[in-house]
């Protein structure tokens, strides 16, 4: 059990199930890349990656160098793709740890080449082409020349090329189809120069489900592996099971008399005699103050509205209408079948991706199979 009375329960059995469902969407030979950046969207990168590899993931993807190093130091030998850019001075660690780096500029490629030659190794890279996201990556019309220059460098192996969709999770796929055309043009520009691309990938969670022609050699499973839908506009049938359930125990109960207040700013003033339960979790744990406006928790299968402002380390809830609540009872803050992460995201006016990512490292992750 966790060393504090608040925890995030992570169902690795649900994760394995989700991988099985995702693989049903793929044609034989298409590789699965498990995106475990941001500590696996708050679920715990090492535990998630271990389940992903056991389920047949051919690649792991991270956003920062430190995330890749964490996996290597945990013993993973699976290829790791660093989706984000690094500084040229990071080349030593990239090569040391055998991380496949996204590349879209010559300076970084030269730094990797020098370090690979110095170590007597080969540095694998994936070219990043911007087909319409507008972030990192070169334009399709520039990728051929860049690829030729990088391919000529000693110690460098161009293993693949990738891009990111901007609107694949929207019902209107017209812009996504335009991006797909540009990606194919970029592939032709590179391979037309005699540079093979073993792993071409652009499909993320939404495209895995709804754009099979975008699967190419590998797909990147992000939010769907965690049992969450990319958006309400993605309706492809698939049986996804959410992984995370945020819970805390009641540590204090108090009767508040009519007219008395609770919390900072006296934001909650009792309109009747009421019973208030305190849970030992707050905005420092990622259960942020914005939940207080509309949020509630579940205790004994019933909703208890948040009372007052969420504090750094504690949140108070009104349990007046829930009989027999006692110290030690478990409250669910989100992640149950009747209080979903999607509903919690709605309270915040954000997307479901953000909700588990907010949960801070000081909240213990408790893994179940």
C-alpha to C-alpha distance for 359 and 284, rounded to whole angstroms: 9
Is 182:137 a contact under the CB 8 Å cutoff? no
Q: How far is Cα 318 from Cα 76, in angstroms, rounded to an integer?
A: 46
Which strands form 156-162's sheet, in the order they lie side by side? 199-201, 156-162, 123-128, 100-103, 80-82, 59-62, 31-35, 218-221
Check whether 135 is labelled as a binding-site residue: yes
Catalytic residue among 171, 254, 258, 264: 264
- Token digits of residue 275: 């019973």
Q: Annotated catalytic, 226? A: no
Q: How many residues does the chain have?
A: 369
- What does the alpha-carbon distance between residue 222 and residue 203 come to, in Å, rounded to a whole number? 10
Q: For 228-246, b where at least 16 C-beta lie within 10 A, e where not — what string?
A: bbbbeebeeeeebebbbbb
Does the annotation list 133 as a binding residue?
no
Catalytic residue among 37, 128, 182, 200: 37
Looking only at the bridges linking them, the beta strands covering 6-11 and 365-368 are parallel
Is 291 a known active-site residue?
Answer: no
Residue list for the binding site: 135, 312
Catalytic site residues? 37, 264
Residue list for the binding site for substrate: 135, 312
């Amino acid at each position: 059990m966790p060393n504090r009375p608040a925890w995030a329960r992570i169902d690795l059995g649900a994760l394995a199930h989700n991988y099985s469902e995702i693989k049903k969407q793929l044609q034989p030979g298409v590789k699965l890349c498990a995106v475990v950046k941001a500590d696996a969207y708050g679920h715990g990168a090492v535990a998630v990656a271990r389940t992903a590899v056991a389920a047949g993931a051919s690649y792991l993807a991270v956003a920062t160098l430190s995330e890749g190093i964490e996996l290597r130091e945990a013993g993973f030998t699976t290829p790791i793709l660093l989706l984000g850019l690094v500084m040229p001075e990071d080349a030593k660690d990239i090569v040391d740890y055998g991380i496949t780096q996204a590349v879209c500029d010559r300076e970084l490629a030269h730094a990797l080449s020098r370090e690979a030659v110095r170590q007597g190794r080969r540095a694998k890279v994936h070219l990043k082409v911007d087909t319409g996201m507008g972030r990192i990556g070169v334009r399709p019309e520039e990728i051929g020349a860049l690829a030729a220059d990088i391919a000529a460098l000693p110690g460098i192996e161009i293993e693949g090329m990738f891009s990111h969709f901007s609107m694949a999770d929207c019902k209107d796929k017209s812009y996504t189809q335009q991006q797909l055309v540009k990606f194919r043009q970029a592939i032709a520009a590179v391979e037309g120069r005699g540079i093979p691309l073993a792993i071409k990938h652009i499909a993320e969670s939404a495209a895995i489900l709804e754009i099979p022609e975008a699967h190419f050699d590998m797909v990147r499973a992000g939010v769907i592996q965690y049992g969450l839908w990319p958006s309400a506009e993605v309706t492809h049938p698939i049986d996804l099971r959410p992984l995370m359930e945020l819970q805390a125990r009641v540590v204090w109960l108090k009767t508040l008399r009519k007219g008395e207040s609770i919390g900072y700013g006296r934001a909650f003033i009792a309109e009747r005699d009421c019973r208030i339960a305190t849970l030992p979790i707050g905005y420092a744990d990622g259960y942020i103050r914005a939940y207080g406006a509309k949020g509630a928790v579940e205790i004994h299968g019933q909703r208890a509205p948040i009372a007052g402002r969420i504090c750094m380390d504690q949140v108070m809830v009104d349990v007046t209408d829930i009989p027999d609540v006692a110290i030690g009872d478990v409250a669910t803050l989100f992640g149950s079948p009747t209080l979903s992460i999607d509903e919690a995201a709605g309270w915040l006016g954000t997307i479901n991706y953000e909700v588990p990512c907010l949960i801070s490292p000081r909240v213990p992750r408790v893994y179940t199979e």
